[in-house]
Amino acid sequence: MSGKIRFAPSPTGYLHEGHLLSALYVWAAAKKWNLKIHLRIEDHDQSRARPAYIAGIREDLAWLGFKYDSESIQSARGQVYEAALQKLKEKSLVYPCYCSRKQLLAENPQSETGEIVYQGKCFYKTREERRETREIINSAPHNLRFIVPDKFINWHDLRLGDFHENPKLQCGDFPIRDRDNQWTYQFAVCVDDIDEQITHIIRGEDIRNSTARQIALMEALGRTERPIYLHHPLIVDANNKKLSKRELAHSLRQDKEAGITPEMLFGRVCHKAHLTESDAPIALVDAISIIMETL
């Protein structure tokens, strides 16, 4: 088998242990299935991305010994996103939403996972209603929402098994561009996964909920063959709880500056992910082999 996998960090901070575990999974999958590795810097949110973090991703990967075959950065791909938006517009699958955050919270139910399930208020507005609120005449702040099909999507995760999910019930029509004209994660990731011909998507379990809606969006954009999915377990703390913001803020480069070696980090991260019995230092190839066994 051949294909392409991506490692897709967002440069909103320096790489931390969670990223390192993800990278180990991606490189292990690439080795197991003989895939090319693509580094995608997901700086779609220009208000949070920083040049130092972008440089940091490349430097930290080099220091750790992760090599890749190709690279892209979302901020250089505006025209590709614009073209994809046009495609959705031609299919009448996009509409502007003028709801404020406060309105969204007050007027829509929330899913089991605490997500707002947008009920389509701005979709159902008549032209008169829009005129009344002057939305058509003066371009009040708005995001653009993708109309998700109201249907259950069956998809398979190599580790977690089968899922049967309806994005209309998980989140409703979702934003592809926000009020500040930034492309959203959901949109940019789908356009890129198509355009960059990604065949395997290996990422943390925290993003699993996004998969059905991403499949719906990729299909609307014309992708017929689905990627293979695997959502890996996350690092937990000593009490089996998700790592706190503070713990995740602790970066790999702080460890590096404190004299910690990559091998010490691989040992520590594999142990924290319950992949090894001790946290003794291990080589990158060995960390990758250990994870390959679990795939």
**207 near ligand GLU, rule: CB under 6 A:** yes
| Interface stretch with ligand GLU, choices 3-11, 64-72, 99-107, 169-177 (CB under 6 A) | 3-11
CB atoms within 10 A of CB 40: 23
Q: Which amino acid is at 255?
A: D
User: Which C-beta is closer to ligand GLU: that of 200 or that of 272?
Assistant: 200
| Interface stretch with ligand GLU, choices 7-15, 53-61, 69-77, 227-235 (CB under 6 A) | 7-15
Q: How many residues does the chain have?
A: 295
**121 near Zn ion, rule: CB under 5 A:** yes
| Interface stretch with ligand GLU, choices 4-12, 53-61, 82-90, 115-123 (CB under 6 A) | 4-12
Can you tell me which residue has the tokens 């990731």? 189
DSSP one-letter string for 106-157: HHS-B-TTS-B-B--HHHH--HHHHHHTTTTTS--S-EEEE---SS-EEEEE
| C-beta of residue 177 within 8 angstroms of C-beta of residue 184 | yes
Helices and strands, number each (H, E), in the chain: 13, 10
**31 near Zn ion, rule: CB under 5 A:** no
**8 near ligand GLU, rule: CB under 6 A:** yes
User: Which C-beta is closer to ligand GLU: that of 135 or that of 193?
Assistant: 193
d(CA 213, CA 167): 5
Residue from 64, 99, 171, 189 that binds ligand GLU (CB under 6 A)?
A: 189
Segment 27-86, which members bind ligand GLU (CB under 6 A)?
Answer: 42
What's the number of CA atoms in the CB half-sphere (13 Å) around residue 244? 4
d(CA 49, CA 183): 13
- Indicate which of ligand GLU, Zn ion, none lies near residue 198 (CB less than 5 to 8 Å, by partner kind): none
78 burial type by CB count under 10 A (0-12 exposed, 13-18 middle, 19+ buried): exposed
Nearest distance, CB of residue 294 and Zn ion, angstroms: 43
**10 near ligand GLU, rule: CB under 6 A:** yes
Nearest distance, CB of residue 207 and ligand GLU, angstroms: 5
Q: Give the strand order in the sheet containing 143-146.
A: 94-97, 143-146, 174-177
| Interface stretch with ligand GLU, choices 6-14, 50-58, 247-255, 261-269 (CB under 6 A) | 6-14
d(CA 140, CA 179): 9
d(CA 27, CA 34): 10
d(CA 184, CA 212): 16
**122 near Zn ion, rule: CB under 5 A:** yes
**200 near ligand GLU, rule: CB under 6 A:** no
- Indicate which of Zn ion, ligand GLU, none lies near residue 42 (CB less than 5 to 8 Å, by partner kind): ligand GLU
| Interface stretch with Zn ion, choices 77-85, 91-99, 159-167, 262-270 (CB under 5 A) | 91-99
Q: What are 172's two structure tokens? A: 């409703």
Dihedral sign for Cα atoms in the order 200, 186, 232, 53: positive
User: Which C-beta is closer to ligand GLU: that of 78 or that of 141?
Assistant: 78
User: Which C-beta is closer to Zn ion: that of 21 or that of 97?
Assistant: 97
**99 near Zn ion, rule: CB under 5 A:** yes
Q: Which residues bind Zn ion (CB under 5 A)?
A: 97, 99, 121-122
**Footprint on this chain of ligand GLU (rule: CB under 6 A):** 8-10, 42, 189, 203, 207
